[in-house]
Amino acid sequence: MAMEDSLGSGVELEWAIVYWGLRRAGFTFPQIQKRHDKLQPYSNQISKEAQQNVDAIEKAYGKKALSTIKHADEADIQLPPGIPEPKTDVLFKDNGKYITCSVKMSGTGYQLTSAEGKTSAKILITALEEATNITPKEKKRIIQVIEEIRDLPTKMLDPKNLVKAKKERPNIVKEILGRGSNIPKQKDYQYWKKHTKETLMEGLEAVMEIDQFKNAVIKEALTGQGMFGKNSLAAAKFILVGGEIKPIDSNLIRQIGNKTKIDVRSKARKGITSLALRIEAPS
């Protein structure tokens, strides 16, 4: 299966759920393959977990629902400008209405977001608009933090990766360095990590202690309902994880909120570093 090497485990699981759902509904392997080449069982571990999730769907909605199952990439979902992907991974019909699900791998917890500044800021500002009982003082603090997240650099150099960056992305390195040979402070990841990150994290952690805002962030990060609209197929209403299908409701949000962790981490591609807001809740 050559396709396996090009997909992450989480994406493999999404496609495997659809594959096994269709097999359970009576479709043959050739029929499924004609539909999309990513529809495969993948590894034994992925296949086992996928079938557990298919069990959960069948138990809750019956075998008829499995005949309608599809991956979000097959659903022609329309997204707002600047939003790279929906929150929905897998969807199927129950009584003519789509059930939209976000897929999480068991044992990995909930990754709520891991996106660069502008995308993360959209999630946070949407959450702020949805949050209730926020005082003017709290709102001012939250907006200040959102602006700092929005402005996170996307093209930085880490001195440790400079040789690699010069080799693989010479034009970007030239753009950053200009005529000099030293990395400007505002583009130096190690300088940012030492002198800026701590202050930013203090502000982030403080606003995430505001329960109304924190819960709104978790809800928006899981569902995308504020950004996409409650009735959009891009917005997830359920989570598929570990052989369970769970509604994204106040109970789940409260459960996740009790153990949410937040960080700003670096992402390096071909020696060029960008910063991303990461919010997660360990299992």
- Which pLDDT score is estimated for 3? 43
∠ at Cα 70 (64, 76), nearest 5°?
Answer: 130
| Cα–Cα distance measured from residue 72 to residue 57, given in angstroms and rounded to the nearest whole number | 16
Greatest distance between any 2 Cα atoms in the chain: 66
- Which pLDDT score is estimated for 1? 36
DSSP class of residue 97 equals: E
| Cα–Cα distance measured from residue 132 to residue 260, given in angstroms and rounded to the nearest whole number | 20
Backbone phi and psi for residue 110, each to the nearest 5 degrees, phi listed first: -110, 110
- Which pLDDT score is estimated for 162? 95
**Strand segments (E) across the chain:** 70-71, 90-94, 97-103, 110-116, 156-157, 238-241, 244-247, 261-269, 272-281
Each residue's pLDDT tens digit in the chain (283 positions)?
334 445 789 999 999 999 999 999 999 999 999 999 999 999 999 999 999 999 999 999 999 999 999 999 999 898 888 777 899 999 999 999 999 999 999 887 778 888 899 989 999 999 999 998 899 999 999 999 999 999 999 999 999 999 999 999 999 999 999 988 899 999 999 999 999 999 999 999 999 999 999 999 999 999 999 999 989 999 999 999 999 999 999 999 998 888 899 999 999 999 999 999 999 987 6
